[in-house]
Structure 1
Amino acid sequence: QSAVGHAITLFRPLMVRSATKGGSFLGYAVYGTPADCVKIGIKELAGELPDMVVSGINRGANCGNNVIYSGTVSAATEAAMMGVTSLAVSLDTHKEADFSFAAKTARKLIRFIAANASLAGGAFNVNVPCLPDHRIRGIAVVRQGKGRTIETFEKRVDPRDNIYYWMSGEKASGAQDLTTDSGALAAGYVTITPIHYDLTRYDLLESLKTLMDPQL
């Protein structure tokens, strides 16, 4: 499900089906949001706490402020909230593409994270350029940027004279900061960013405490 963020299902049942391939058990299909899949997978289906949750590979990058909308990233943060190390992986294309390099990169990062105890319990957001292998410049450990999609709305009228809109958008243009996920990705790097679900803005917290009358 695209652009569902961290939504969960409350007012209808979650349907779960076994998936097979060639007659062999492949996994479970959950008719719910990405966060639903992680919740029910860890609590009901896995049988034991998994070593790691991997979300993706998503078709389309998840960088900058757009991670807020991402179901792929939200699945990873949900796992971290439940105490499980997680990895969200996205390939920077919306077209049909070869995912083999992204899959190979994901496998390397899974092994790397699993081998380093100091990274346990973290959530990591990975974006892979859609480029030939020889043009990938390496892996960059970077912060989340602030870039976002600039939305536009196309207004239409249906045969009954009801107004409706189609939303679309494109990435904001401008100078790319190579210390951010979006900038490094655009420059040809695989990016990895440790992320968390604490949305507190700490640079304003103390100012707000000073300014706020507690009796207000």
Structure 2
Amino acid sequence: MTPCFPELRILISNDDGIHSGGIALLEELARQITDDVWVVAPDVEQSAASHALTLRKPLRFKSHGNQRYSVDGTPTDSVLMGVKHLLRDRKPDLILSGINHGMNLGEDVIYSGTVAAAMEGAILGIPSIAFSLRMRESDEAYFWDTPRAYLVDVVRKLWQGVLSPDCATKPESLLYNVNFPSVPASEVAGIKACCQGHRVSGTALVDAEDPHGRPLHWIGQYISHDCAIDGSDLNAIADRFVTVSPLQFDLTQYRALEQLEGLF
């Protein structure tokens, strides 16, 4: 198959680690876009690492052959190592992160190492897309055929529509968050542009005790996927859509800023 954008250089990272099944599939699909694909990812799983940087120890990378490297650090470290060291001769045109084993919707984007890797790319001025696949809750299975069927099309449309240097207008966002529903590809309702949702309930804290009777506590998953926001990623994924959400790293609340200007 001839790559659809052979001129592109793509950097791939994730938070599940260099040996995850999701990153292997993402690399396979990226090669339908271009042959110039590089992988730089954490050497071990870094789920929920958010945008952590390693500042108190040096970083080392290990080659896994064929433009594939692991870094003994976080997803953000991996993207920095890729852009500013391994690819310093020519930075990537596009960064893809994932495919995460589990969804990154609503508040997940705050904690997600998958989204953080893409966000670091956007901070560096590089168009970046994070990909996640929702787990089937009944048996913790994943429908990998769904991203296989839809991911390249999502990248193609984003690149041609908003991310390419040839686009007529400057994109409002360099960062996009994509989630695939937990259904077979044949049951996907379509692709939908969504806002980031907000869950009705927050993270669970599970109280337990160890075999010696001493108390311990587990930080659990979100106990609710319900969202009252129309057009949100949480609602769309429940309706079997592939969700595409533009994100930003400017956290300023501008309406509140206007109120503060009147106070001070």
Task: Report the TM range for the smaller structure's normalisation.
Answer: 0.7 to 0.9
> What's the counterpart of residue 156 of structure 1?
209
TM-score by length of structure 1 reads: 0.87
SS at match of 1:9: coil
Aligned counterpart for 2:185 among listed residues 123, 133, 137: 133
SS at match of 1:167: strand
Aligned counterpart for 1:48 among listed residues 90, 98, 103: 90
> What's the counterpart of residue 24 of structure 2?
none
Contact 2:198 2:229 in 1 (8 A): no
Pair 1:210 & 2:251 matched: no
Structure 1 runs of 4+ with >6 Å offset:
none
Aligned counterpart for 2:132 among listed residues 85, 90, 98: 90
> What's the counterpart of residue 157 of structure 2?
112
Contact 2:145 2:184 in 1 (8 A): no
> What's the counterpart of residue 49 of structure 2?
4
Shift of 1:124: 0.4
Aligned counterpart for 1:68 among listed residues 110, 121, 127: 110
Letter in 2 for 1:196: Q
TM-score by length of structure 2 reads: 0.72
Select the structure that is richer in strand.
1
Identity of aligned residues (%): 34
**Aligned counterparts of 2:226 and 2:113: Cα–Cα separation in 1:** 26
**Aligned counterparts of 2:218 and 2:231: Cα–Cα separation in 1:** 34
Pair 1:194 & 2:246 matched: yes
Contact 2:146 2:183 in 1 (8 A): no
Change (3 A) 1:66 1:83: same
Contact 1:176 1:182 in 2 (8 A): no
> What's the counterpart of residue 26 of structure 2?
none
Aligned counterpart for 2:100 among listed residues 45, 48, 58: 58
**Aligned counterparts of 1:132 and 1:192: Cα–Cα separation in 2:** 18
> What's the counterpart of residue 146 of structure 1?
198
Pick 1 or 2: higher relative contact order, CA cutoff 8 A, min separation 6. 1
Shift of 1:150: 2.9
Pair 1:36 & 2:36 matched: no
**Aligned counterparts of 2:188 and 2:228: Cα–Cα separation in 1:** 17
Shift of 1:134: 2.0
Shift of 1:26: 4.4
Change (3 A) 1:210 1:121: closer
* Unaligned segments of structure 2, at least 5 residues: 1-45, 162-166
**Aligned counterparts of 2:93 and 2:250: Cα–Cα separation in 1:** 23
Shift of 1:201: 0.7
* Unaligned segments of structure 1, at least 5 residues: none
For each residue in 1:113-169, what CA deviation from the matched residue of structure 2 results, as whole angstroms up to 9, or x when unmatched? Answer: 22232448611000000201221000110111112643122132564x754322213
**Aligned counterparts of 2:141 and 2:103: Cα–Cα separation in 1:** 14
